[in-house]
Each structure stands twice: as structure tokens, then as C-alpha cells.
Amino acid sequence: MQTDVQPFRAIAISARAYALQAEGHSIIHMEFGQPSTGAPPSAIATAHSVLDRDPMGYWESPALRQRLARHYQERYGLEINASRFLLTCGASPALVLALLTRFSQGARIALARPGYVAYRNTLRALGLVPVEIACGPSTRYQLTAEQIARLDPLPDGLIVASPANPTGKIIDDAGLAAIARICRERNIAIISDEIYHGLSYGPPTRSLLEFEPSAFVINSFSKYFSMAGWRLGWLVTPPEENAKARALLGNLFLSAPSLSQHAALAAFEDSGILEAHVEVYRRNRQRLIEALPQMGITSIAPPDGAFYIYADVRHLTTDSFSFCKTVLEETGIALAPGVDFDPVDGHCFIRISFAVSESETDTAIARLREWLACQ
């Protein structure tokens, strides 16, 4: 196993933010990608009912797997057998399962930079080799088939995220099709992280399974369903990899939380409420896109989906971690340092989550504007 796993610095920012909050300071949490709204009402009501009647235990809900299969038919037009869905304790174990199922130690896995911090560090922890592909404005901060084809040697696998963290950028249909084609031709296995599906401010998000049926797909109830603390995700496996993935799931993680599975099934009933959350994010997105340039933060990547603004602040700092710590102490706004997502260029970037209320977004803008005017 490799040991060069770097810390997730946003966790340190969040810990300090909560400590300040406990001391009575007003804190706006924009450091994590977690909705501030909490689980939908049907999920909460079901959880209360289950607590009164079910002792619970190790269990995988057949009804929830069937509902997920229906969800893929309704949203993507895909017919997927319910047995291919593995319920996991959040998306993070789903990533571990996909990697361990498909790859052996030493395998080389390509991924975009900037990208979610845990991709790189999970690969290293499992004895796999991250092959980071620099993605900037010229490729809309996303991977392209051309970049993958130029890799020499070719990687064994590829992690795709659309919408992406930290930029919220979406790969269009033609781009997904081209990536699927080049990976099929060159025997590169694909893991698609689709945790931000449902959070789009333009065309609907497309599943990689529409273009490559043999892909592993990761998703979760944390983002669109506003259930981050319930720790429930899923992995869609290729049929031929299902038995191995299930064996790993049982040995490494046993099962996902029973209470969360009951609640998640009910959450599908509250689609109107969940879509209303997306509209709040849409308005917050627009507020920030308009306000940040007025404060001198002009180089931003307007997100197509998810709920993040990735902003270049090199005119203010070359140490994004220290910058975020200072902003927190002096304004009460918790932000994520770009170095988490990009160890090369991220020292000059920050990520702002707008999965908060509209009033919190307005307050954060006012505080940041006042603070920046004094810098």
C-alpha cells in the first residue's frame, strides 16, 4: 500500500468553523458539498415510523433496489436489473468497491485535475496509481477523448465525473460518447461518478451507461436528495462483475444503514420539494456569478451543474489553504481551498459551495465584498 495520502483540508476548515460556531460566531458553511436543507419530509416521516416498529439489522432493501432500477428507466431510458445495484454507506465505499473489483494493485487510473480530492487519495490508499490529466479553461475543466488517447502508456482505468467537483462542469453527449468509444477501443475500464446528477442548470445530465453499458456507476442520496448525513449511496456494476463486488461489499462494509434505506425509498415521493431545492441552487449560482466579478474575482468557471463555483484568486493569494483559514476567521465564511482538488495549480483557487439558503448566500456576498474591499 502507498502511504502518501494527503489530508482533506476542507475538513480542517469545517472543524474550525464548527468550533467558532460553538463559541457563538455566525458561520456560513460553504466549505462542503452538502445541502443545508436536510432530508425531504417523506424520508423523515418514514424514519420516525420505522424507529417505532423495526429493530433493524444488516439488510439490503429489495424495494429500494427495484426503485433505483425504475429511476434509471425513467431518467435515462435504461433497463437495468435490480440485482446490479449495490447499496453502500455513501458514495465513498462505492468508489472503493468499484476500484477493488476491477483493478489490481499497481493499475494506473486516469482522472481529471482539478478533481475530487478523494479520487487521488483513495487510489493511493489502495495501491493504485493516479494519472492526473490537467484540465483547464481550454477543455472547460473537463476530460476529453483526445486527452485520453494521447496518454502513453495508456491507463488501465478512467474516473469520469459529470457534473464535476469542484467545477460543476458537464461533459456533453458528444464528449461522453467519444470518451466511451476511445475507452472501449483501448480496453480502458470506466468508473463514472454521477453523484451530482439531477443538479443541472441546462440540459439534463446523461449517464455514462447510456454510452458504455460496461461502466461502473457511482451515485448517492447525499446531493440531489439532500441526505448527506444519512450515508447512503449505490454502485451499479457490470453484470459480470456483480458477484465479486457483492463479496467485497459483504466483507468490507456488511451493509448500508437500514434506517437510511427505508428513508431513501420514501424520498422519491418528494420530487417536487427536491426540484425546488435545485431552483434555490440555480438562484444562488446566479447571485455569485454576478457578484464575484464585482469584487475583483473575475476568473471563475460558471458551473453547468452541481453546486460549486471554482474561482481563481491568484491576485489575492498563492496559498489557498491559508487564505480560506483567514477568510473564515475574519468573515465567518467557510470555503474550500483549491489545493484539495488540484495539488499543482489549486494553491491559487478556492471552491464556494452554494448549497445553502438564499439568505445565507446574500449574507456571504455582503461579508466577502466588505472584507475584500479592505484587502
List the chain pLDDT tens, one digit each, 375 residues: 455 888 899 999 999 999 999 999 999 999 999 999 999 999 999 999 999 999 999 999 999 999 999 999 999 999 999 999 999 999 999 999 999 999 999 999 999 999 999 999 999 999 999 999 999 999 999 999 999 999 999 999 999 999 999 999 999 999 999 999 999 999 999 999 999 999 999 988 999 999 999 999 999 999 999 999 999 999 999 999 999 999 999 999 999 999 999 999 999 999 999 999 999 999 999 999 999 999 999 999 899 999 999 999 999 999 999 999 999 999 999 999 999 999 999 999 999 999 999 999 999 999 999 999 998
Dist CA 310 CA 324 (whole Å): 13
Dist CA 27 CA 17 (whole Å): 7
Whether 326 and 342 have beta carbons less than 8 Å apart is answered as no
CATH architecture of 55-269: 3-Layer(aba) Sandwich (3.40)
Dist CA 338 CA 309 (whole Å): 11
Dist CA 81 CA 157 (whole Å): 24
Domain ranges of the chain: 9-39+272-373, 55-269
CA dihedral 196, 168, 35, 237 (to 10 degrees): 20
Q: Cβ-count burial of 42 within 10 angstroms (0-12 exposed, 13-18 middle, 19+ buried)? A: middle
pTM here is 0.95
> According to the CATH classification, is domain 9-39+272-373 in 3.40.1710.10?
no
Domains 9-39+272-373 and 55-269 share a fold: yes
Strand partners, 349: 312
Whether 101 and 248 have beta carbons less than 8 Å apart is answered as yes
Residue 274's Cα: distance from chain center in Å?
Answer: 17
